[in-house]
Chain A
Amino acid sequence: MKWWPVRGITRHLTEKSSYELDSSVKPMNNIFKRSLHIYMIDVGNSNLLNFELKALQSTQYNTHRFGIYFSDSPRHSDLLIVLGKPTEKMITPLMNTIKQMPEPFGILIVEEDEVFDLKLPNVVGRLKNPEPSEILGTLLKIMGRN
């Protein structure tokens, strides 16, 4: 086994690429240019979108260098990412979560094969079956960096 610090320093895991743009996304408020805190809520997807968001937090994408952080409470977040089409029972918790978000906030809707049909406030974009690079490009556009 190589000595651990040597192994860590000699591997450069973060990739250097510019991420794809999604032109249907409007930038949010200017204050999020360097810091965006995200709260993800699963309302009934097939767990695939959860895995994609987990993959987004891996070292290749390294979202922290852009100031993108995942927070543990809707009260501490700027952007709410809604994953999937809500089941009947999840509509009330979703609305309660939105009520807890402090102004200014935005909502990013991520769909799988089924279309999301609820009316939500402050929607900044919609994605369909995205890959993490697409999600990251969208987030950077929302922050106003792309």
Chain B
Amino acid sequence: MKILLGTFRKDDEEYYIVQEDGVISIEMDPQDMYIANYSLAKSRDLIVVPEKSVKNGEGVFDFRYGPVTSGIGEAGVYHLYTYGERILSVEIDLSYKHRDIVKRMIGLDPEHGLKMAENICGNFAFSHSFAFSMAVESGVGKIIDSKSQRLRIIALELERIYNHLYVISQLAQAAAQKVFASHMSYLFEESLRLNKAFSGSRYLKNFNKIGGIKDFDDGKIQNLKTNIQKIVNDFRDLYDRSLVSGNFLDRLYSTTVLKVQDAVNFGITGPTLRAAGAKEDLRYEDKRYDDLKVPIRNDGDALSRMEVRAEEIFESERIILKECEKFNLDVEKSNDSNKGIGYAESPTGTIVYKVDVKNSILSDLYIVTPSFWGFNGLVNSLTGNVFTDFQFGVESFGINFADAAL
């Protein structure tokens, strides 16, 4: 199924960024596609409203959650319309985190642009830099050496692992599984320290450069192999124990359901879409990943999203170990044909950059982030749930205000 991710104008023509079966393509007039989210893609409105809003009735009021509250952590506002326990409709205000980054990036040279791209969202820093560097490099036609490509793949998977560990520990925290959450937080911190040992930065910042990764010490690979296996084996043990706890699973089962057609209509990608039932993963068609297992579930609830994330952690470990084994071999050539377009499978979905470089500075920029679409899906899946399910919906989507508001 075709998913519309964004639209941009170039030379007075409108282009559509579309994802289908793991392939990103730029189309002028997408055929056979019901463009449900076209107006949203065009407006990128920072106030996210649901399709059907229920704001009136006896006793209905706006329970404003935010912008300063310890429950969310970030600066954003959830307007929950309710007459009591039931969430009737949700409006999300992203504008408190709007830092106008796109405007500030235009006019910079690509190296400084890369630094700013990493600063859009700290926990997706490497995915952003992966996509941005790919966009710039494909625009000028630069070929990257195999070692850099393998390092980029490894770092992308490392980012995926620590983000998924974070999401699962947050879900455990919300369900008051205090022991499980404590152990998960231990693994989370260990994975951040592993990042630092591997790349020099806990969030893999300043690691990727335009043109590849230079000055990498090959001795770190052995350390990486040992530690990543330690972390993921520990996680495997904890995860198997958590699946036995009915107490925990009860909070997640059939909470904030997002069905596959709704997810596609909102431009959602990543684990949320895979948990709803669609097999969409940018790495699936990429020749550099062979024999990739894409976990799929059908229910679309918070439990499915957690299960998809857990299986992706195991898959990421397998990819990292394989890349470490083949570290000194050459990489398969990927069949990419879009100039000036870069993309990455971030832990929450597809990131796409469209970059135009003129005279060595950035002249035009368009960014697609998964959190923006994630919030649109969230407002629709939260409807009809009760207050106690709110935290699970928000945490299981894995979205961030910083990423959505740019």
Instruction: State yes or no: do A and B touch (Cβ within 8 Å).
Output: yes
A44-B123 CB under 8 A given contacts A51-B166, A90-B96: no
Across the interface, which residues of A come within 8 angstroms of B120, CB to CB?
46
Cα distance, A94 to B183, chains bound together (Å): 33
Question: In the complex, are the beta carbons of B188 and A48 less than 8 A apart?
Answer: no
Across the interface, which residues of A come within 8 angstroms of B222, CB to CB?
none
- Tell which of A51, A55, A70, A87 touches B70, judged by Cβ atoms closer than 8 Å: A70
Cα distance, A52 to B203, chains bound together (Å): 10
Question: In the complex, are the beta carbons of B119 and A43 less than 8 A apart?
Answer: no
Across the interface, which residues of A come within 8 angstroms of B115, CB to CB?
113
Cα distance, A59 to B188, chains bound together (Å): 10
* 26 pairs, A vs B, C-beta closer than 8 Å: A1-B237, A4-B241, A8-B179, A40-B70, A42-B73, A44-B99, A45-B122, A46-B119, A46-B121, A47-B74, A48-B123, A50-B122, A51-B122, A52-B202, A59-B185, A59-B186, A61-B189, A70-B70, A72-B70, A72-B71, A74-B68, A87-B75, A87-B99, A89-B95, A96-B68, A131-B202
Interface check B360, CB cutoff 8 A: no
Question: In the complex, are the beta carbons of A87 and B96 less than 8 A apart?
Answer: yes
A55–chain B nearest beta-carbon distance, Å? 5
* CB neighbors of A among B251-306 (8 A): none
A54-B166 CB under 8 A given contacts A42-B74, A46-B402, A87-B99: yes
A87-B179 CB under 8 A given contacts A49-B122, A50-B73, A50-B74: no
A112-B119 CB under 8 A given contacts A47-B74, A54-B166, A60-B189: yes
> Chain B interface (Cβ within 8 Å of chain A)?
67-68, 70-71, 73-75, 95-99, 115, 119-123, 125, 166, 179, 182-183, 185-186, 188-190, 192, 202-203, 237, 240-241, 400-403
16 new A-B contacts at CB < 8 Å, known A8-B179, A131-B202: A41-B75, A44-B97, A47-B74, A47-B123, A47-B401, A48-B122, A48-B123, A51-B166, A52-B202, A58-B188, A70-B70, A87-B98, A89-B95, A89-B96, A94-B68, A113-B119
Question: In the complex, are the beta carbons of B95 and A45 less than 8 A apart?
Answer: no
Across the interface, which residues of B come within 8 angstroms of A97, CB to CB?
68
Cα distance, A100 to B90, chains bound together (Å): 28
Question: In the complex, are the beta carbons of A48 and B97 less than 8 A apart?
Answer: no
Cα distance, A73 to B68, chains bound together (Å): 9
- Tell which of B121, B182, B240, B402 touches A1, judged by Cβ atoms closer than 8 Å: B240
Interface check A104, CB cutoff 8 A: no
CB contacts between A and B, total, < 8 Å: 101
How many interface residues does A have (CB within 8 Å)? 41
- Tell which of B122, B186, B190 touches A47, judged by Cβ atoms closer than 8 Å: B122
